[in-house]
Amino acid sequence: MLAIYKKDLRGAFHGMSGWVVSAFVVFVIGLYFMALCLSGGYGEFGYVLNNSMFMFLVVVPLLSMRSMVEERRQKTDQLLLTSPVSISGIVWGKYLALLTIYAIPLVVAMVCPLIMAAFGTVSLLRAYGCLLAFFLLGAATLAIGLFMSSLTENQIIAALCTFGALILIYLMPSIASLISSTTFASTLAFSLLALLVCVLVYLMTKSLVLSTGLFCLAELILLILTRFTDVQMEGSFAKMLNTLALFDRFSTFVNGVFDITAIVYYISIALLFVFLTTQGIEKRRWS
Amino acid sequence: MIQVKELTKRYGNHIAVDHLSFTVEKGEICGLLGPNGAGKSTTMNMMTGYISATDGTALIDGSDIFDEPRAARAKIGYLPEQPPVYPDMTPWEYLLFVAQLKGFAKPDRQDLAKQAMAQTGVTEVKDRLIKNLSKGYRQRVGLAGALLGGPEVLILDEPTVGLDPKQIIEIRELIRSLAKKHTILLSSHILSEVAAVCDKVLILSHGKLVACDTPENLAQRAEGQNVLIVTALGDEKTVRGVLNSVEGARDVAFEPCLDEGAVTARLSYDTGRDLRAQISSALAAAGCAVLRMQNETLSLEDVFLELTGDRVLEDAEVLTELPERESSAEDGEISAQNNEEEEEKDHAGDL
């Protein structure tokens, strides 16, 4: 694991990618820091991070697209997978390397609250709490990127898939607000979601019985919930989307609340996708 | 040392490797031979745990590659078809990385890397980026990575592809010298190579093992039937009559003949006898002047073609028509490889 971690880290800073990504993150955070805190006079570092959140859409695909794809393209995955290192060791090595590259500019950003503190009273605890949440948010999105990178054999496709997934998550609250909150609309939305999942299940397993069975089961549960129980369906789909949204949860930290559930959610997403990456590679070996 | 049991790989309806079983003893050099798409690389990928098997398993020094992958992989040095090198590293960095990947302690890594470089002769390019190295050097860096740390089993997939004749000899020498300490399984579609270095030859065809023997025994198998080609003036009927009357001559067949008024016959006879004198005097007695007579000894190549089910009369041209069952990425390389094969054959004489 350590060997792969070191190799990836050295590779990133041997070439351009590590430097470019670090510079970009520092630049964006620096820009908002100057505009909001230094010129605007806001004493809250969280706003800076909240505003620079969009950069994940650019940085994460760029950073993670090479990770797995490159190994497969150069056939060096044959070296890694036949060496006495487990698959989870390989994936963790790669993931930790990504995290480190992303953490370096954040370490630079840690100076910003101190600069503010020199000119007035600033809650350092709040600022660093926000920075920690920002780091974990990045960790979750990087895990998604790593997973996408393990699915394809093309960097561009990996980057586009990551970008697509992230923009969907980014816009999730807006999408949720578009959906009418009536019981009928929510039920329809849930049905469509069930259909989508079942189509995916069919594509993966090629079993018509399993996928239609799953769909019927999902519809039955929906029917029972809407007709025979007093579960509040009104606006429930929008609520679900809002709960799953990664980026929106950050605003609670900006408002000064250290939201443990959000922290747990970020870490869970990261662990889930690292796990899925491991399983994806394992599955590829068996196909 | 290596035990392969009923190894099978199925891709949908296509069976790439079909219940393959063989063993390689300690210190042996074993050659896996077969035309493109016979399943050589698939077999090796399964034996090293890179891909899974549909059925069966492989034991490396008693460790099952699927049940105890880490223990088994630690005993293997694997050089895949395309050397798994990082273009942005220098050979020195690459070998240090491989040493760390294989789990060697920090103080030993430099010595191991130096040793591997010296063995494969890449010391003079150790500080150049691998992407700037020639194919031959990349192959050697890959080989250095495989034998770094002295694993007990070396699995080499076409180790001499892309090397020039001088390098091929060097690599063969190296492989032979390594056999003292390691057990080696190498694959090739080049016969002369296998004949030159291997103690044992396994011939694969369409995923099945069709022969497993020493190169000498395989060659002897072919020597059982020597072939004589005779061109004589006259018509087919007379010549056939005469040839059939000669004792020991079998399987008389006629081939197209360029000479006017003459026919070319092809016949087999047992080894240890020479029918040339008898046949020429018999033909002369029947009034058919002998224009040409040529003795043709079947080579290892013919055995190979016969066993892999693509027996054709002439050997040299046939190599360009080897079966291409699997339309894999190799397809583009086929013509190039065939050229190499031809060079190989010329070169085999030197060895």
* CA–CA min distance A159, chain B (Å): 21
* CA atoms within 13 A of residue A276's CA, in its CB half-sphere: 16
CATH for B2-219 is 3.40.50.300
- Given the candidates 3.20.20.60, 3.40.50.720, 3.30.460.10, 3.30.70.3190, the CATH classification of the domain at B225-296 is 3.30.70.3190
User: If you search the block for the tokens 């990133």, which residue do you land on?
Assistant: A12
Domain boundaries, chain B: 2-219, 225-296
What residues of chain B lie within 8 A of the CB of A79, using their CB?
Answer: 78, 80, 84, 98, 101, 145
**Per-residue pLDDT of chain A in tens (287 residues, 90 and over written 9):** 889 999 999 988 988 888 999 999 999 999 999 999 888 888 888 899 999 999 999 999 999 988 889 898 888 999 999 998 999 999 999 999 999 999 999 999 999 999 888 888 888 899 999 999 999 999 999 999 999 998 888 899 999 999 999 998 888 888 888 877 777 888 888 888 889 888 888 877 777 888 889 899 988 888 888 777 766 777 777 888 877 788 888 888 888 888 899 999 999 999 999 999 999 888 888 77
Nearest to A83 among B51, B88, B102 (CB): B102
Residue B119 has pLDDT above 50, yes or no: yes
Q: Where are the beta strands (DSSP E) in chain B?
A: 2-11, 14-24, 29-33, 55-60, 63-64, 76-79, 153-157, 183-188, 200-205, 208-213, 226-233, 250-255, 262-269, 290-296
Amino acid B317: pLDDT:
38
B100 alpha-carbon distance from chain centroid: 33
Rounded mean pLDDT of B330-350?
Answer: 43
pTM for this model (two decimals) = 0.79
Q: What percent of chain B has pLDDT over 70?
A: 83
What residues of chain A lie within 8 A of the CB of B88, using their CB?
Answer: 11, 14-15
Amino acid B279: pLDDT:
85
pLDDT higher for B348 or B278? B278
When mean pLDDT is compared across B37-46, B62-71, B206-215, the lowest value belongs to B206-215
Amino acid B44: pLDDT:
92
What residues of chain B lie within 8 A of the CB of A81, using their CB?
Answer: 49-50
pLDDT tens for A158-197 read 999 999 999 988 888 888 888 777 778 888 888 888 898 8
Q: Quick check: B87 and A74 CB within 8 A?
A: yes
Q: Quick check: B84 and A3 CB within 8 A?
A: no
Amino acid B338: pLDDT:
45
* CA–CA min distance A194, chain B (Å): 30
Of the candidates B281, B282, B271, B214, the one whose C-alpha atom is nearest the C-alpha of residue B248 is: B271
pLDDT tens for B217-271 read 777 766 656 778 888 888 888 888 888 888 777 778 888 877 788 888 888 777 6
**Rounded-to-integer distance, Cα A168 and Cα A10, Å:** 32
Amino acid B222: pLDDT:
61
Amino acid B197: pLDDT:
86
Domain boundaries, chain A: 2-172+245-286, 183-234
Partner residues linked to A179 by β-bridges:
none
Amino acid B335: pLDDT:
43
Nearest to A76 among B52, B71, B84 (CB): B84
When mean pLDDT is compared across A15-24, B201-210, B322-331, the lowest value belongs to B322-331
Kindly state whether A14 is in contact with chain B, defined as any CB-CB distance less than 8 angstroms.
yes
